[in-house]
Chain A
Amino acid sequence: MKGALELLQRVSAHADASCWYVAWNPAGTLLASCGGDRAIRIWGKEGDSWECKCVLADGHQRTVRKVAWSPCGKYLASASFDATTCIWKKTDDDFESLTVLEGHENEVKCVAWAPSGNLLATCSRDKSVWIWEVDKEDEYECVSVVNSHTQDVKHVVWHPTRKLLASASYDNKVCIYKEEDDDWECRATLEGHESTVWSLAFDPEGQRLASCSDDRTVKIWKESTPGDGSTDESWKCVCNLSGCHERPVYDVAWCRLTGALATACGDDGVRVFREDPTADPEQPVFFMSAHVPKAHGQDINCVSWNPKEAGLLATCSDNGEFAIWKYNSDS
């Protein structure tokens, strides 16, 4: 099942700065990029090529590290090294700054919208994860501050169907959070990585979690219910992809449409892994289906599957570029 990645377009998005993250809107028609030039750019397709539709340049005082679209596609959240998270509302051909969420003591490393649309999570170098609630009047309120990590928290991601959150940290661990009596708390800690965990992705059904790390591995974790009837969650590492990446793995993305797993690596390469359908579900096997060794001229920071068009993939790099690829599973 050898696949191939075809380059469709390469765009110089953030001049003289790193492009840190790219995110597709839920409709799959727009791509938001953000970077070290402190700007967010929104890209849309005009004919065959991706063009810049608007620039959000005055929202942050420092690097914009990540951006996230709300499930309805009308809002965009941006997380910045300036310690704030900005919420933008989409108007016909532009975005306006709706509100600025403050509270973290230093750099915000990630922002993620829950599938329900009324919860937001942020995380920071201040070691905390904050959960925010949004009400019908577009008012944001922090409902929980959780301090489960002992170091910088790099990434947060929501479960696709359940009210469950996962976070990845410089402390080499992954935490899983659930709501208990109106308060969010850490219910499980996943240990195994030997260095910073940079990113996380749930599989389409939400049964497994992929984590990627500075230790050059990608691990797949599966939830297991203990036989003694207790309600404590535990997650076991059921697969370890090692020896495939030569430098830190900065991002991992699990395609909702095809189940393919993509990785962004500090060796400038983008890789796509497929699951062996004949393997035991408790011991999944992944093999590398496609690999572009020098996808960009520098480290790849992010990889993102288009939510509507199967096989369409975006990557972005420290050289300020993003690229759009078409992945074919049989070539």
Chain B
Amino acid sequence: MEEKALEVYDVIRTIRDPEKPNTLEELDVVTEKCVEVQELGDEEYLIIIRFSPTVPHCSLATLIGLCLQVKLQRCLPFKHKLEIYITEGTHSTEEDINKQINDKERVAAAMENPSLREMVEQCVTEPDD
């Protein structure tokens, strides 16, 4: 399970913050400990990520959540279900943000919005992609 958690962390640590020229790891938005992996059975895993946005702005927190969703969907090689949450106590509208990030229909529609998509791509694209 530890190995799987590290595999997941490796994918998310290099995501760039939407505002600052740093990765989510450098800003402590994500840490190794923020990834929890549970076995769902038959080579499938439930991944739970709890991230801590640096600023209380709603839109930035939702954007980071969206980046996490997109990069993991694209880059994780094993079968998984994903849950992404803001670390408790780090935001006033936690529940609202968590609900949005975990609504796959909202995520899909957001990624069809050209300006939102552009922002996400800039955060998740690896330099050598």
Q: Which residues from A are CB-within-8-Å of B105?
A: 65, 109, 154
Instruction: Evaluate contact between B106 and A81: CB separation under 8 angstroms.
Output: no
**What's the minimum C-beta distance from A132 to chain B, rounded to whole angstroms?**
22
Contacts of A267 in B (CB 8 A): 81
Q: Is B112 in contact with A152, judged by CB distance below 8 angstroms?
A: no
Check: A213 CB closer than 8 A to any chain B CB.
Answer: no
Q: Across the interface, name the chain A residue whose C-beta is closest to B104.
A: A299
B19 within 8 A of A: no
Minimum CB–CB distance for A110 against chain B, Å:
11
Q: Are A247's CB and B81's CB within 8 A?
A: yes
A323 to chain B, nearest CB (A): 18
Question: What is the minimal beta-carbon distance from B115 to any residue of chain A, in angstroms?
Answer: 14
A84 within 8 A of B: no
Cβ-based interface call for A74 (8 A) = no
Chain A residues near B109 (CB-CB < 8 A): 62-63, 81, 106-107, 125
Mark each residue of chain A from 101 to 126: 1 if its CB lies under 8 Å from any CB of chain B, else 0. 00000110100000000000000010
| Majority DSSP secondary structure for residues of A touching B | loop
Task: Check A36–B108 contact: CB distance below 8 A.
Answer: yes
CB-based contact B108/A195 at 8 Å: no
- Can you list, as one digit per residue, whether each of A29-62 has a CB less than 8 Å from chain B (1) or not (0)? 0000000100000000000000000000000001
Which residues on the A side are within 8 Å of B108 (C-beta)?
18, 36, 63, 81
User: Interface centre among B105, B108, B109, B112, by most A CB within 10 Å?
Assistant: B105
Bound Cα distance from A330 to B129, whole angstroms = 54
Distance from A172 Cβ to chain B, minimum over Cβ atoms (Å): 10
Interfacial chain B residues near A152, Cβ < 8 Å = 106
Interface assignment of A130: CB less than 8 Å from any CB of chain B = no
- Closest chain B CB from A77 CB (angstroms): 19
What is the CB-to-nearest-CB distance from B65 to chain A, in angstroms, rounded to a whole number?
16
**In the complex, given contacts A65-B105, A125-B109, A267-B81, what are 5 additional A-B residue pairs having Cβ atoms less than 8 angstroms apart?**
A18-B108, A63-B108, A63-B112, A266-B81, A294-B42
A sample of 21 cross-chain residue pairs with beta-carbon separation below 8 angstroms, ordered by A number, consists of A18-B108, A36-B108, A62-B109, A62-B112, A63-B109, A63-B112, A65-B105, A81-B108, A81-B109, A81-B112, A106-B109, A107-B109, A125-B106, A154-B105, A196-B99, A196-B103, A214-B103, A266-B81, A294-B42, A299-B104, A318-B104
